Amino acid sequence: MSFSKSRAARPALAGWLSTGNSITQQFMAIGGRADVVSLAGGLPAAELYPVEAIAAASERALTRWGSAILEYGPIEGLPALRAAIATRFSATTGRSFGPENVLLTTGAMQGLDLVGKALVDPGELIVAQFPTYLGALDAWRPREPSYAQLDWSLQRPGFEAELRRAKFVYAVPNYSNPTGALVLQAERAALLDKVLEAGTWLVEDDPYLPLQFDGPAGPSILAHHAARHPNGPYDGPVIYLGTLSKSLTPGLRVGWVVGEAGMVATLALAKQSTDIASSLLTQAIALELIESGFEADHVPRIVTAYRDRRDALCRAATEHLSEWFEWEAPPGGMFVWMRAKTTDIDTDALYAHALAEKVAFVPSSVFDPDGALKSAMRVNFTRSSPEVLVEGVRRLERAVKRYLAARAGRAA
């Protein structure tokens, strides 16, 4: 190879990339391997994607809008879909939301990227629910923030000072990623009080809202704030992120940010710097699926399927994994958070044995900004059939046994 002689060394990459992780790419690649049972990704059940409804919606959208949805955009997205999302929030919160309160994004993930771009300079503080959604940590890595842990009990000394210093608080109150936990209504209200006192923003990330298995999730923090201030256009501190990725399909890449109009305008400036606009075509398809009532009819079907899958996973885990792990069955969402009962299990180390047994999960370290949390694993139950989930749990049991045997061998 003349390769290394023929060129000078090239410039260094940006600093944040040395702290990056490739684990999401790994999971997505594993997702394509037929011989591996992936309990890793946060993926919906592909067999439930409404392919025919989307084909019909695409045809209707192009007939309805013609070349107008083949333009660059407005940056903020298709006005009719912004209005439809605003109407949904007005109806569910009792506050007045208009299109000016809604920015359409390439999935809720882009909302996280834009919030980071708009608010965070290197070294600044984010107070984040811990453990923290991997994608949020990824989204903010290029802004090089520091982190403090959101303490839902609000008891930790110094927490109020951290809130005052923070650019924003990050919370996933409904069926959190990775833990599946549903935050109590009283805790939501109490956090909102503290956020208002501190004068900071609150990013409420709510992708799992449609996936309610055991009764209603109750009001969002956005709705709490709206109930306290029912009059006039929304001007509160909540920056709310939603998506169609869980209720319909992630492939449309349609998400939204709902917030006060000034913040939405700021995030639109950040979006202009990012990709000018998302596809209006996929937004127009989403509009058809919402306006026709298809989305509302579809959600109960996926909820039924996912509830069965959660139950199948938890039953199998009780049989095969409860010697080493404990968990609560989540009342919604996509994940069971399994915590090691003893300190001799390191889930980073377990992961290699799991891959050897052809099963994948997400080790807890990637949900910790410092990478230090190694005592738990996130297990997805939405992607696979109950039968495959049971097989995955059996493989996990073998992986744990292999791992502990290898540890014992080294210790001996």
**Binders of its own copies among 125-154, rule CB under 8 A?**
135, 138-139, 141-143
CB crowding 360-371: b at 16 or more within 10 Å, else e: bbbbbbbbbbee
Whole-number minimum distance, CB 43 to its own copies, in Å? Answer: 7
* Cα–Cα distance measured from residue 194 to residue 101, given in angstroms and rounded to the nearest whole number: 23
Q: Does 230 sit near its own copies (CB under 8 A)? A: no
Q: Which residue has the tokens 């939204």?
A: 256
Q: Which residue has the tokens 């009990």?
A: 153
* Cα–Cα distance measured from residue 55 to residue 327, given in angstroms and rounded to the nearest whole number: 40
Q: Does 249 sit near its own copies (CB under 8 A)? A: yes
Query: Can you read off the two tokens belonging to residue 326?
Result: 């404990």
Pairing relationship of beta strands 376-380 and 362-363 according to DSSP bridges: antiparallel
Among 19, 20, 230, 318, binds its own copies (CB under 8 A): 20
Whole-number minimum distance, CB 301 to its own copies, in Å? Answer: 15
Stretch in the footprint of its own copies (CB under 8 A) among 47-55, 176-184, 355-363, 397-405: 47-55
Stretch in the footprint of its own copies (CB under 8 A) among 70-78, 291-299, 312-320, 393-401: 70-78
Per-residue x/- track, 76-115, its own copies (CB under 8 A): -----------------------------xxx-xx--x--
* Cα–Cα distance measured from residue 106 to residue 119, given in angstroms and rounded to the nearest whole number: 19
Q: At what angle do helices 280-291 and 294-320 cross, to 10 degrees?
A: 90
Going by C-alpha positions, the residue among 239, 159, 150, 147 that lies closest to residue 198 is 159
Whole-number minimum distance, CB 178 to its own copies, in Å? Answer: 16
Within 230-385, residue ranges assigned H as helices are 261-275, 280-291, 294-320, 347-356
Between 96 and 404, name the residue whose CB sits nearer to its own copies. Answer: 96
Q: Does 239 sit near its own copies (CB under 8 A)? A: no
Q: Does 22 sit near its own copies (CB under 8 A)? A: yes
Among 275, 311, 348, 391, binds its own copies (CB under 8 A): 275
| Window 144 to 203, contacts with its own copies (CB under 8 A) | 166-168, 196-201
Query: Can you read off the two tokens belonging to residue 1?
Result: 């190879």
* Cα–Cα distance measured from residue 288 to residue 81, given in angstroms and rounded to the nearest whole number: 9
Whole-number minimum distance, CB 2 to its own copies, in Å? Answer: 8
